Amino acid sequence: MNIAAINDNEFKQFQDLIYKTAGISLSTAKKPLVSGRLAKRLRDRGLASYGDYFKLLTSGQYPEEFQMAVDLLTTNETYFFRESKHFDFMRQQILANHRRGKPFRAWSAASSSGQEAYTIAMVLADSLGDHPWEVVASDISSRVLERARTGNYPLEQARHIPKNYLNKYCLKGTGSKEGTFLIERSLRSRVNFMQVNLNTSLPKLGEFDLIFLRNVMIYFDEDTKRQVVRRIMGQLKSDGHLLIGHSESLNGIVDDLKQLMPSVYRKP
Question: Residues 18, 26: contact at Cβ < 8 Å?
Answer: yes
Domain ranges of the chain: 8-74, 85-266
Split at pLDDT 50, 70, 90, the class of 130 is confident
The pLDDT, as a whole number, for residue 205 is 96
Q: What is the mean pLDDT of residues 72-80?
A: 84
For residues 3-17, give the mean pLDDT.
Answer: 95
From 105, 139, 188, 214, the catalytic residue: 139
Contact yes or no for 243/212 (Cβ under 8 A): yes
Confidence category of residue 100, pLDDT binned at 50, 70, 90: confident
Q: pTM of this prediction?
A: 0.88
130 is catalytic: no
Of the pLDDT bands very low, low, confident and very high (cuts 50, 70, 90), residue 71 is: confident
pLDDT band of residue 246 (cuts 50, 70, 90) is very high
Reported as a single tens digit per residue, the pLDDT across 186-201 is 999 999 999 999 999 9
Query: What's the pLDDT tens digit per position in 157-181?
Result: 999 999 999 999 999 999 999 999 9
**DSSP of 132-155, one letter per residue?**
-EEEEEEES-HHHHHHHHHTEEEG
Q: Are 219 and 209 in contact (CB under 8 A)?
A: no
What's the pLDDT score for residue 168? 97
**Residue 190 annotated to the active site:** no
Q: What is the mean pLDDT of residues 231-259?
A: 94
Pairing of strands 191-195, 133-139: parallel
Distance CA 235, CA 120 (A): 18
> Does the pLDDT value for residue 77 go beyond 80?
no
Q: Please, how many CA atoms are within 13 Å of residue 167, restricted to the half-sphere of its CB? A: 3
Comparing 69-83, 108-122, 198-212, the range with the smallest average pLDDT is: 69-83
Residue 247 has pLDDT above 80, yes or no: yes
CATH code, 8-74: 1.10.155.10
Strands 258-261 and 264-266, by their bridges, are antiparallel
Q: Would you place residue 2 in the very low, low, confident or very high pLDDT band (cuts 50, 70, 90)?
A: confident
Work out the end-to-end distance of the chain between its first and last CA atoms, rounded to an integer number of angstroms: 59
pLDDT at 76 over 80: no
pLDDT at 152 over 90: yes
Half-sphere exposure at residue 89, Cβ-oriented, CA atoms within 13 angstroms: 17
Topology given in CATH for the domain delimited by 85-266: Rossmann fold (3.40.50)
